[in-house]
Structure 1
C-alpha cells in the first residue's frame, strides 16, 4: 500500500502528518512482538506508537502501555513481554461482527439450543 495509503488511511494511524512529525521530531525507542514501533519526542514530552496493522490500542502490551502513559520511564525488556501460562493470546474487539457477545435475551442472539429465560420480558400492547 505504501505512501499513497498513508496519506488517506487514517484508520491505520500512520498518516502523512504522523510520518512527517515522526521523521522531524521522533526518536525510535523500541518495538513489541506484534511489530508496533514506539517513539518519543526529542525533548521527552510526547510518546506515541505506530501500529503494524490497524490502529487497535488493545494490541499494546502492558509494559509499553505503562511507558506510553508516563506511568514508568523504563522501557520494557524482551522478558517483560513474554506471556504468562495463564494468559490468552490477544483477540481484537469483536463488536459489530458475528462473533460479538450477545447475552441471553438479546434480539441479535440466534435461538439455537437456548435455555429458557429466568424472567418474563416486557412486551408492548
Structure 2
C-alpha cells in the first residue's frame, strides 16, 4: 500500500503512476545516459512539438541530465545523443549533484552556518544613496 501511495503522489521519489501509464501508452524509448536515466518521446505538447521526458534512475534530480541530453530535452536539437556520437566540449564539467539543503552545501565565510570570519571590507565599494 505504501509503495502505491508513493507512486501516486510523490514525483521526487521516481516515476508516478501517471508517468508510467503515459510512457506505456505513448512513449518510445530514445536512449539512456551514463547515469541510467532513460529518455522517451511521444505525443505532442501544447506547442505542437513532440513531447520529450526522462525517467530518472533514482530520485528525480533535473541537474542529473547530461548536457547533450539537456539540449535534446529542450528541443535545442532534433538529434538525440543516442543517434550521434556526442562528445562533451572541453569546457563542460562532469556532473556534480545539487547539494543544496545538505551538509555539503556551499556556505560562504560569515554565513550563519559557517563560523569562519567574514572577509573584511576593503573600501572599494560605495553604497548607493537615494537622491545622489
> TM-score range, shorter-chain basis?
0.7 to 0.9
2:66, 2:95 within 8 Å by CA — same for their partners in 1?
Answer: no
Greater mean deviation of Cα atoms: 87-96 or 56-65: 87-96
Q: CA RMSD, aligned part only?
A: 2.6
- Equivalences, count: 114
Q: How many Å apart are 1:42 and its aligned residue?
A: 4.7
Normalised to the residue count of structure 1, the TM-score between the two structures is 0.76
**Equivalent in the alignment of 1:80:** 86
1:7, 1:15 within 8 Å by CA — same for their partners in 2?
Answer: yes
Normalised to the residue count of structure 2, the TM-score between the two structures is 0.72
2:109, 2:115 within 8 Å by CA — same for their partners in 1?
Answer: no
Alignment CA distance shift 1:65-1:35 (3 Å): same
Alignment CA distance shift 1:57-1:81 (3 Å): farther
**Equivalent in the alignment of 1:98:** 103
- Name stretches of at least 5 consecutive residues in structure 2 with no aligned partner: 123-132
Q: 2 CA distance for matches of 1:18 and 1:46? A: 12
1:38, 1:48 within 8 Å by CA — same for their partners in 2?
Answer: yes
Q: In the alignment, does 2:37 pair up with 1:36?
A: yes
Q: How does 1:1-125 map to 2 (within 5 A)?
A: 4=4, 5-42=6-43, 45-77=50-82, 79-80=85-86, 88-111=93-116, 117-119=119-121
Q: 2 CA distance for matches of 1:81 and 1:61? A: 11
Q: 1 CA distance for matches of 2:115 and 2:87? A: 38
Runs of 4+ in 1 over 4 A off after TM superposition: 81-84
Greater mean deviation of Cα atoms: 50-59 or 6-15: 6-15
